[in-house]
Structures are given as C-alpha cells and as structure tokens.
Amino acid sequence: MKIALAADHGGYELKEKIKVYLLQKGIELLDLGCNIGDSVDYPNYGKACGEAVMNGEADSGIVICGTGIGISIAANKVKGIRCALCTSLFMAEMARKHNNANVLALGGRILTPELALDIVDVFLTTEFEGGRHQHRVDLLHCIENGTL
C-alpha cells in the first residue's frame, strides 16, 4: 500500500505526525509537501494529492489543512477523486464502506493527533461494501462526467 500525503501550513504538523506513524507501520509514502510551516496555498496540495491517486502513483491519499474543508474541496476537483473530510471514526468508516472514498481529509487545527491517527487507521483498514453503494458511487461518476 502506498499513501500520498499533502498538507498546507495549517496541516503541516499533523502531516508530519501521520508520516512518522505510517512509516513505523511499514506503509510506503509519497510526501507531496508542504515541507515547512510557512503559509502556502492549499489548492495546490489538494490537487497534487488527487492527481497522485488518479495517476496510480499512490493507492489512496491523505490531505490536511487547518479545518480540512478547503483542501478537501481542492482534492475533489480532480476527476475520479472521492475525498471525505472526517472528524470521527464513524465518518471514516462510512466514507470507505459506503462512498469508497479514495482520499481522506483532516483538519490539523481541529483534531487531536491521537484522534487523527485513529481516523487514519480506520480509513486505511475499512473496505468498500459495494452492493447498493456501488450504484451510488457510479452515480457520482455520472455527475462528474456530465451524464446525470
């Protein structure tokens, strides 16, 4: 499994904690920055992560900004990305089970590092249920392609 990680300055510290945590678990990472805490523009990082997932450079992605809102919007602009902003374990579970989310968004200024790491674990270990949910994910693709 290879995970793309990207964050703006508001998510930089949490990104670094997640990076260490995932590396300790033996998970391969693609760190797309930012690599310092100086102010940067979140859309660039959300886009980079989304593109890495869609291009097959990573199996899934994690994006982080101050609240997770802006960077999740940016990632979702990349065709084929289903980025879910999660603030609880249940949201992470449902994002995978029902929405087949391929990118997780987190808020570096709203989550404790401990909760964020637990959310990451749930997101990365939960499988998509398929079934009736596949039809709904297919409808999302139709919206994206202008056929719905």
User: Residues with catalytic annotation?
Assistant: 65, 98
List, in order, residues 6 or more apart from 17 with CB less than 8 Å away: 113, 116, 117
Residue type, 140: L
Treating both helix axes as pointing N-terminal to C-terminal, what angle do 42-54 and 69-76 enclose, rounded to 10 degrees? 40
Please, are residues 72 and 85 in contact by the beta-carbon 8 Å criterion?
yes
Please, are residues 63 and 72 in contact by the beta-carbon 8 Å criterion?
yes
The CB-side HSE value for 130 (13 A sphere, CA atoms) comes to: 1
Tell me which H or E stretch contains 58: none
